[in-house]
Amino acid sequence: MRWEDLRSSSNVEDRRGEGGGGGGIGFPGGGAGGLGIGTIVVLLIISYFTGINPAILIGGAERMGGGNSRQEQADPQTQAKRRQAPTDQSGQFASKILGNTEDVWSQILPQQTGKQYTPTTLVLYTGGTRSGCGSAQAAMGPFYCPLDKKVYLDTNFFKEMAQKFGVKGDFAYAYVIAHEVGHHVQDVLGILPKVQARQQRASSKAEANALSVRVELMADCLAGVWAKNSNDKYAELEQGDVEEALNAAAQIGDDALQKRSQGYAVPDSFTHGSSAQRQRWFMAGYKSGQTKACDTFRSANN
């Protein structure tokens, strides 16, 4: 992927290297925001089997426990430092991919949906930080917080993808960022709050999980829509790039993850979709380049 010539985004907060690995926030008891590490592990397990954003669960637990789940208010000097353009390769890469998503979605979202695109902010951190949804932890992986409209990414996640799952290549990592930006697009379109309301009314865990799968597969498809339109305009993709994204989708499918961890898959517990589903929906977006091709809620064949 020829990403070096893409435009860098100014909507990046670089919190890496801040004290305590938590964006200047202490983590009493070895946990986040006053929660013990055992509680966090339980909440992450609940998140996996319900599809609820782990940051929201942790933020809710903090509020119930009297903790402060608000995003910390950094002093002006810290805020200014965070807004400085990253100088390392992973930071520059993330900034340029974000800038490219802004250029693409600002053009095609109004054309295809009649909605104006408002950019998200990408927060880079190491270990842990504070989000509008509560404490962000590296163990969560990248996520989008609809409460503060920001994407959170520990850039070490890319190393973990390579070491644990054999996922390598610039475009595979770009796909991860584009997927999270896809959730922001869903938010701009008003889809996320509707789905969250439906999940709260769900009669079973399996039903709530199925809704989560549709949200995640749509984000995969929207990542494909971005990739198609970006390449049509900037021609940044190289031979093998699409295959890198498909390999990433395959390695982080729910069935692949479950088989790797426990030896078998439980479809009713899926929250992101199977490997085949994730690949198929990314390609649906990539082949069409159209947001309307990503309606996973009306599709009978997820």
pLDDT of the residue at 83: 82
Please tell me the distance from the alpha carbon of residue 295 to that of residue 110, in angstroms, as a whole number: 17
Residues of the chain with pLDDT under 70: 19-73, 299-302
Please tell me the distance from the alpha carbon of residue 170 to that of residue 83, in angstroms, as a whole number: 24
**What would the two tokens of residue 242 be?**
């699409």
Is there a contact between 246 and 280 (Cβ–Cβ < 8 Å)? no
pLDDT of the residue at 267: 85
Q: Which one, of 273, 164, 290, 174, lies nearest residue 229 by Cα?
A: 290
pTM of the model: 0.82
Paired residues of 131 in beta bridges: 134
pLDDT of the residue at 298: 85
Residue found by looking up tokens 């091709």 in the block: 293
pLDDT of the residue at 54: 54
Instruction: Round the average pLDDT of the chain to a whole number and report it.
Output: 83
Q: Determine the angle formed by the axes of helices 37-50 and 54-64, rounding to 10 degrees.
A: 130
pLDDT of the residue at 72: 55
**What would the two tokens of residue 110 be?**
């109004």
